[in-house]
Chains A and B, each alone.
With several copies, the nearest count.
Chain A
Amino acid sequence: MSNPTVELTLPVMQDMELAATKTAEVIAKRMDLDGEKTDEISMALIEACINAFEHSKSKDNIFIQYIIDPEKLIIKVGDKGIGFDAEVVAIPKIVEKLNSDNKRGWGLQLMKELMDTVEFQSSEDGTTVTMTKNR
């Protein structure tokens, strides 16, 4: 049998990423993940969602999948936007951000630090981030 999967589609709308985190919390509780892991998932998910809302430049809904694997929670966040190359995104450093005009650029870094694996699939048809958190 395939893994139980929750799917959530969100319109581009202020704070809608919180619906994604609330859903993650219910699933994490159901999977018996501890509070720390649950919070890390929520924070990574916020970052993935706001990127899909903002950087995709798409007005289409974003699409989230939560796959409840026996070993881990797999989360995919997809948009139908312009795409990007995650390999060329610079690793942010606080010393460089101070006295720079651009203080942002922390989302990918946070996702990588907070989740067990993070992968980007991106083309000009859109981007899908796949993140996992081991049980």
Chain B
Amino acid sequence: MSDFNIKVREEGDIIILETSGYLNNFGGDRVASICKQSISEGKRKLLINMENTKMVNSIGVSILIEVIEDLQGVNGTLGYYNVAPIIEKTFNIMGITNYSKIYTSEKAAIEALT
């Protein structure tokens, strides 16, 4: 058992994943599989609301690099909002913020993608 969960919803042509709990290897795999599914269905704009994820590990985050790679192939974009400071720092150290973007709010994220 793990306490990780994802809810998915659509805002226009944007897919929003809302994660809760610890983003470890299992969590990362679940995020990636939903993202890959969306991409295969033609979606190009993905957002992750991380409000309820306070902890990650590098395995979980490294799986996001796969998603970024897949999106690069189809000219898509990945963004995040409600990111805890330590997770933002982790994203920066790993450099994934060079290829995906942290927004300050859902509103800002949706505006930027529309």
Contact = CB atoms under 8 A, between A and B. Distances in A.
Interface of A: 14-15, 17-18, 21, 29-30, 32, 36, 39-40, 42-43, 46-47, 50, 92-95, 97-99, 103-107, 109-110, 113-114
B70 to A, nearest CB: 11
Contacts of B110: none
Interface of B: 1-3, 22, 24, 55-59, 61-63, 65-66, 68-69, 72, 84-86, 89-90, 93-96, 98-99
The main secondary structure of chain B at its interface with chain A is helix
The main secondary structure of chain A at its interface with chain B is helix
Given A94-B95, A106-B62, A110-B90, 13 more contacts: A15-B2, A36-B85, A39-B85, A40-B89, A43-B86, A46-B55, A47-B57, A93-B95, A94-B96, A97-B65, A103-B63, A106-B58, A110-B58
Given A14-B2, A15-B24, A98-B65, A50 B93 contact: no
B62 A39 contact: no
Given A94-B99, A103-B62, A42 B93 contact: no
